[in-house]
Structure 1
Amino acid sequence: MNKAFDVTARGLRTFVSDVADGFFEITHNGFALVGLAIVFAALALVARPDLRKTGEEQLMGWLQSRKPAPEVTDLEPTAIERTTAASPADLPKQQAAVAYWLSKKYRVAAEPLSVLVAEAYGIGKRTKIDPTLILAIMAVESSFNPFAQSQVGAQGLMQVMTRVHGDKYESAGGTLTAFDPVTNMRVGVKVLQECISRAGSLEGGLRYYVGAANLEDDGGYAAKVMAEHERLLQVANGRAPSTVTPPTVRPQPIPVATPPKPAEERTEPAKVALLSSVS
């Protein structure tokens, strides 16, 4: 019994060994054939450049067909060129402090404010007008909304009366540029310069700017601008700005006496003559 089992086991081992040896021989010969095929193909490509070129074209065509189709989108790769925004980290320390403070107070993103702050400092250097004054006017006029429009037609960041100062926008392309933040700021500063020159003082120029030159009171406009200007100066100089806002003085309405209503005229009832017939 044991002898028969041993014979069977040896037979199985021999069978498995033969199968393994045969598989090794087949795969070994197969790899050899693949290697030879690659060598012959390489020699053929070297000897026949036209075949190599045709093969490359077919391979590129196959790869292109496997490439996924580009995603369809309406976004423009050049949209960044129209964006009025910059990183506050790229500004000088003083300007960055002003941009961050305005962003927090007026709930406007610091990136577009960075462009406005940098532009205000550039304009201020050219015109000798304090940049924090320019920013204070924008804050009071529009709270940094470049699309703001008043009931009387003042538009943009600095609420310039476009129909009055339309000629100042011509070099920029027309009155629609009133809604371009940088253009509106530049035109607004030109108007401010004219107002200060006409009034002979900063406070007087602010009254002209708001259209209150011929009024007894400007509704506290100049005081608001100067208070915000002072706070921005403190921020720019690294100090904590004061939080006290001067009270706004508004003109009191003048009481107008109302004339008494005339007494209603009383009409006497018409007397009707009774005519009696005479018999």
Structure 2
Amino acid sequence: MTACHRLAHGLQCAVSVAAQGCFDLARNGVVLLGIAVLFVALVFVARPELRHVGELQLFDLLHRRQIAAWEEAQATTQATTQVTNIPRRPPVTLPKQLPKPQAAVAAWLSKKYRVAPEPMVAVVAEAYELGRRTRIEPTLILAVMAVESGFNPFAQSSMGAQGLMQVMTRVHSDKYRVFGGRFAAFDPLANLHVGVRVLQDCIRAAGSIEGGLRSYVGATAGDGGYTAKVLAEHARLRQVAQGHRVPTIAPTTASRPQPTVVPPTLAWRAEPTAGVAME
């Protein structure tokens, strides 16, 4: 055997040994990974409190990434209204991080609508921030969410209204552009921002809260009791925020009436004539 043949045979053997080693290493790695996943699953089953802590950390991570993505979008997109300007503040995920009135509202809503406290806290905190900037009472915003979707971020009506605020996505798809497109309709905070902007448009164009609510739900005549339900829940939430004890009666999520006309984006008036200032 010539030297070249011996060299080629040696290289072939080395490559074969290296490939077998890599295969064994990958196989052992997969086995170890499977064992680790099984161990973690067993720990979470045996220790529910650890699973709860993990869920909180995951929610906090997703919330931080969402805010970072929105801030990046804001840096490259011209905002058209104050509602879409995302504030630079740390995410809120625990009741103790809220002022006392907001914490009371979050706890009451969480109990009444059977929603986990952590996402409810985030929604309440965002509603209060948007209320401050739009001069719409945050309890009115929360009341709209309660009646529209019962705080189900994945709710969808037969007419195509979607998300927490049941926004007509096909009508207001342009408002979701800053949040990444129309599929953000099922993102709770994105839907909240767009819904508040639509509600603000409706109130200003109608000249009153009652008229704005009727326009928001798309009612051309009667609204099927929608406005009364929203205002009743709004009144209860105001009492909760003021420290009063309010019973958590069974939730009644009103379905939207079948509108004959879906309201387009309403024009802003030169001077606002409606909107409730926060107390």
Q: Which TM-score band (shorter chain)?
A: 0.5 to 0.7
- Inter-CA distance 118–79: structure 2 relative to 1 (3 Å threshold): closer
Q: Which of the numbers 116, 127, 134 marks the counterpart of 2:134?
A: 127
CA distance, structure 2, for counterparts of residue 106 and residue 201 of structure 1: 28
Question: How does 1:1-279 map onto structure 2 within 5 Å?
Answer: 72-73=36-37, 80-83=60-63, 86-212=93-219, 214-215=220-221, 217-241=222-246
Aligned residues: 179
User: Could you give the per-residue CA deviations for residues 136-159 of structure 1, whole angstroms, max 9, x where no partner exists?
Assistant: 000000000000000010000000
CA distance, structure 2, for counterparts of residue 223 and residue 208 of structure 1: 14
Q: Conserved in 2, the CA contact under 8 Å of 1:231 and 1:242?
A: no
- Structure 1 residue 88: Cα displacement: 1.0
- The one-letter amino acid of 1:82's match is L
- The one-letter amino acid of 1:203's match is E
- Inter-CA distance 201–78: structure 2 relative to 1 (3 Å threshold): closer
Unaligned runs of 5+ in 2: 1-31, 41-53, 65-91, 258-279
- Flag the structure with more relative contact order, 1 or 2, with Cα contacts below 8 A and sequence separation at least 6: 2
CA distance, structure 2, for counterparts of residue 87 and residue 201 of structure 1: 35
CA distance, structure 2, for counterparts of residue 91 and residue 243 of structure 1: 21
Unaligned runs of 5+ in 1: 1-68, 252-279
Partner residue, 1:6: none
- The one-letter amino acid of 1:235's match is V
- Inter-CA distance 89–198: structure 2 relative to 1 (3 Å threshold): same
- Structure 1 residue 197: Cα displacement: 1.4
CA distance, structure 2, for counterparts of residue 123 and residue 188 of structure 1: 11
CA distance, structure 1, for counterparts of residue 93 and residue 247 of structure 2: 28
The structure number with the bigger radius of gyration is 1
TM-score (norm 1): 0.59
CA distance, structure 1, for counterparts of residue 150 and residue 248 of structure 2: 17
- Structure 1 residue 73: Cα displacement: 3.9
TM-score (norm 2): 0.59
Q: Conserved in 2, the CA contact under 8 Å of 1:160 and 1:184?
A: yes
Runs of 4+ in 1 over 3 A off after TM superposition: 69-80, 242-245
CA distance, structure 1, for counterparts of residue 110 and residue 247 of structure 2: 17
